[in-house]
Amino acid sequence: MSLPVFLLVVFLSAVLLTGFVRIVAIRAKILDLPTSRSAHVSPTPVGGGVSIALVTLISICIFFYNGNIPANEFLALCSAGLVAGVGLFDDIKKLNIRWRLPAQLLAAIWSVWWLGNTPSIDIAIFTLNNWFILNVLAILALLWLLNLYNFMDGIDGLAGSELVFVNAFVLMFVISNNDEVIMLIAAALLASGAGFLFWNLPPAKIFMGDVGSGFAGFITGIMALLSMHHGTLTIWTWLLLLGVFITDATVTLIIRFRNGEKWYEGHTNHAYQNAARRYRSHGKVTIAVLAINCLWLAPLAWYTVERPDLGVFICIVGMIPLFLSALRLKAGHLVVTGEGLS
């Protein structure tokens, strides 16, 4: 099957499956009910990310069966299924963090174990090559990306469009490097994410839910580790592609910690949520993030592919304006329309 045909099949499958999940969620009353901290005003079905997880995992199984993915990498990727399952249960029954976090940690350890020792990282004047530190960092990174994506899934279209953006550019980056594994996974995530977006663009008819956001963040992390093992993309490329999500979530988390708040409790204090209230629009914020991604972060990420020796410096240049923007938008603080912003 050619790549364009595969993309079309996966896209249509995700569109149809998301529509089916929406019907089931409505009938089963699996709904996100509006609260004082909600970004929506009417009950909305959740769990639409099932389509992303299921279609992508089926694709990965087919790739493995056809011999496109080595056994150890396939086993590492399988743990994303556990993350999706835990997320789905949480969407339906609201799973306590004392059960969620150990399951997520187990999935991260499993993936890093099967991938083997994490490759060294060049950081300007020195190289980090201690296998223990690198593996611990890899596990923590998977946990952070998993939860980060969940934190950033708070307005219509944002998390889905980020998934499409990241994988579209990863696909372009790796085609020339002939990294078949990353290419196939990126294609599956790109098309399934686009299929989900058909239902999630403002005004959203269904939400991604923890099943989708956790899966998307976790498998993105595995892809980053895979590309480092393959020598096709560096950590700096991934940090830039995910720059908006990383900076907003990280600044918000740090400020909430400083204020003595529980990091895992729901809130609407992210920079993007403050921006959505300020401009009274989910669509405007999502488009703005896409513009930053395509016009600022993607070119810099491409340059790290061409000049990996300069990766850390390029990453710093790309991230500084994002951190400043998050601070300007009062990330970590609840800002009502027009308050505290200028």
> Is it the case that residue 41 has pLDDT exceeding 90?
no
Q: Residue 217: what are its φ and ψ, rounded to 5°?
A: -65, -40
Q: What pLDDT is stored for residue 24 in this prediction?
A: 97
Domain that holds residue 174: 3-233
300 lies in some domain: no
107 lies in some domain: yes
Confidence bin at 50 (pLDDT 50/70/90) = very high
- Mean pLDDT on 183-198: 98
Q: Report the Cα–Cα distance between both ends of the chain, in Å, rounded.
A: 52
User: Quick check: bond before 203 cis, omega within 30?
Assistant: yes
CA 64 to each of CA 61, 70, 95: distance values in angstroms, whole numbers, following the listed order: 5, 7, 32
| Averaged pLDDT score across all residues of the chain | 93
Chain position carrying tokens 């009353």: 29
74 lies in some domain: yes
For helices 158-175 and 282-292, angle between their N-to-C axes, nearest 10 degrees: 20
Q: What pLDDT is stored for residue 78 in this prediction?
A: 98
253 lies in some domain: no
Confidence bin at 72 (pLDDT 50/70/90) = very high
Tally of domains in the chain: 1
> Is it the case that residue 336 has pLDDT exceeding 80?
no
Helices (H), 231-332: 235-241, 243-258, 271-279, 282-292, 298-306, 311-328
Question: How confident is the model over 289-315, as pLDDT tens digits?
Answer: 999 999 999 999 999 999 999 999 999
Question: How confident is the model over 231-274, as pLDDT tens digits?
Answer: 999 999 999 999 999 999 999 999 988 888 876 677 889 999 99
Q: What pLDDT is stored for residue 120 in this prediction?
A: 96
DSSP 335: -
Confidence bin at 340 (pLDDT 50/70/90) = very low
> Is it the case that residue 165 has pLDDT exceeding 90?
yes
Q: What pLDDT is stored for residue 35 in this prediction?
A: 66
The share of the chain scoring above pLDDT 70, in percent, equals 96
Q: What pLDDT is stored for residue 95 in this prediction?
A: 87
246 lies in some domain: no
Q: What pLDDT is stored for residue 144 in this prediction?
A: 96
Q: What pLDDT is stored for residue 341 in this prediction?
A: 38
Q: How far apart are CA 119 and CA 138, in angstroms?
A: 10
Question: How confident is the model over 95-133, as pLDDT tens digits?
Answer: 888 899 999 999 999 999 999 999 999 998 889 999 999
129 lies in some domain: yes
Q: Which of 71-80, 195-204, 253-262, 296-305 has the lowest mean pLDDT?
A: 253-262
> Is it the case that residue 183 has pLDDT exceeding 60?
yes
103 lies in some domain: yes
> Is it the case that residue 342 has pLDDT exceeding 70?
no
147 lies in some domain: yes
